[in-house]
Amino acid sequence: MLKKLYLHHFRNYTQLTIPFSPGVNWITGRNGQGKTNLIDAISVLSTGRSFRTSQLSQLIQHGEAFFYLETTFEREEVSQILKVSFDGENKRVQHNATQYSHFSPLLGLIPFVLYAPEDIALVGGAPAIRRRFFNLHLAQVDPLYLHHLARYHKAMRQRNELLKKRSEEAIDPWEMAMAVSGHYLMEKRRQFISEMQKPFHEKGLALSEGADHFRIAYQSSLPFSSSDSLLDHLQKNRKKELHIGTTLAGPHRDDIRFSVGGQSAKAYASEGQKHSIIASLRLSEWEHLKGHTSLSPLLCIDDFGAHLDPFRQKRLEEMLGSVGQTFLTSPTVNSAIFPDKQVIEIEAGLVTKNA
């Protein structure tokens, strides 16, 4: 649970401290005032990355040389401090008294789920977007996941370099590393999607009062049963891939398939159904993360109420009643829901109301 957030030269925030409620924190204000920037600051502190840009330098306030973020949070009833800063070249991370050169060891320290307008690309966008969903979620659940992800991609880059040179010399160790780490990734992804299937379907039914039958499935580019079978595949396809210069199959080609009533959601779902799929996915992800960490993840919903029809929006509001600390952004606040909410009004990077 986040207790307090401090921002310095982050986006449009010169210097700001905000205390938070353990329940619903509703961030409101006109467009362009900095509502989403607060959610992005929480994203950086939870995952080490912005959900809006891959360039940390773009998070530095215009005309300044650095940004600095700090949060006081509670984990297992112990108050802790996390600091993240970036000066254009170096990223610094500090958890309590310990400093880190990378954020990866701290993934999962503050479990985090984000539901944002850009999520619609998870249904209709490129497979790489869905693989990023895999990676961010599983890195918060499993400390070894990022290790195997980095190991697999390093080995694949080395193998691809040898394939481009049409050289089989010293390729065996890289294929072995790909097989071991690749199988680990595929098995974790398969298990994750298997565990998501029931809650994802149930959330879709709940949002639509039984009208929408959503399904989620893991799609691998090849069948697998062990690291040995993946190694065998790499070796058998080596000759063909020597002519192409790249690895054609493996977890780097994995995908997720969403369906509605048995048909591809990408091809057949309406825009409203696609947004319902994302709401179902994020709520199911929150439950999965809570179940595997024994912690209540932060749930951040950017542009709350903008994409679901009034009926599904009301159902979503009812479902959020069982969620812990939540951060919502929208231009206006519905005073009729979440009676104990904390309302934070933002104008030009300043808090004009916090009650």
> Would you kindly state where each structural domain of the chain is located, as residue ranges?
1-111+293-354, 124-277
How confident is residue 213, by pLDDT bands cut at 50, 70 and 90? very high
Query: 198 in helix, strand or coil?
Result: helix
- C-alpha–C-alpha distance, residues 241 and 230, integer Å: 15
CATH superfamily, region 1-111+293-354? P-loop containing nucleotide triphosphate hydrolases (3.40.50.300)
pLDDT tens digits, 290-338? 999 999 999 999 999 898 999 999 999 999 988 999 999 999 999 999 9
How far, in Å, CA of 153 to CA of 247, rounded?
Answer: 11
Q: What is the pTM for the complete model shown?
A: 0.95
pLDDT score at 146: 96
CA angle 85, 107, 294 (to 5 degrees): 135
The answer on pLDDT for 221 being more than 90 is no
pLDDT for 224: 72
pLDDT of amino acid 322: 82
Least confident of 30-34, 237-241, 262-266, 350-354: 350-354
The 10s digit of each residue's pLDDT in 47-81 is 999 999 999 999 999 999 999 999 999 999 999 99
Pairing of strands 98-100, 298-301: unpaired
Tell me which H or E stretch contains 266.
helix 265-268
Cα separation of 318 and 337, whole Å? 9
How many CA atoms lie within 13 Å of 274's alpha carbon, on the beta-carbon side?
Answer: 19
Q: What confidence score (pLDDT) does residue 94 get?
A: 98
Mean pLDDT for all residues in the chain: 96
Determine the pLDDT at residue 355.
76
List the strands of the sheet with 263-264, edge to edge. Answer: 214-219, 255-260, 263-264
Structure-token match 């193998």, residue found: 159
For residue 56, the model assigns a pLDDT of 96
Per-residue pLDDT, 189: 97
* Band (222; pLDDT cuts 50, 70, 90): confident
Question: Is it the case that residue 225 has pLDDT exceeding 80?
Answer: no
- Has residue 137 got a pLDDT over 80? yes
pLDDT of residue 196 exceeding 90, the answer is: yes
Query: Among residues of the chain, what percentage have pLDDT more than 90?
Result: 94
Question: Are the CB atoms for 39 and 329 separated by under 8 Å?
Answer: yes
Residue 267: predicted pLDDT: 96
Region 167-186: what's the mean pLDDT? Answer: 96
Distance set, CA 242 to CA 76, 162, 310 (Å)? 52, 8, 55
Q: Is the pLDDT of residue 121 over 90?
A: yes
Can you give the length of the chain in residues?
355
Q: Does residue 118 have a pLDDT over 90?
A: yes
What pLDDT score does 136 carry?
A: 97
Which among 255, 278, 24 has a CA at the least distance from the CA of 127?
255
Q: Residue 226 has what pLDDT?
A: 87
Token look-up 């961010």 returns: 136
Q: How is domain 124-277 classified at the CATH fold level? A: Glutathione S-transferase Yfyf (Class Pi); Chain A, domain 2 (1.20.1050)
Quickly state the pLDDT bin for 87 (edges 50, 70, 90): very high
Write the DSSP string, 138-189. Answer: HHHH-TTHHHHHHHHHHHHHHHHHHHHTT--TT-HHHHHHHHHHHHHHHHHH
Common-topology check for domains 1-111+293-354 and 124-277: no
pLDDT at 229 over 80: yes
pLDDT tens digit string along 3-49? 999 999 999 999 999 999 999 999 999 999 999 999 999 999 999 99
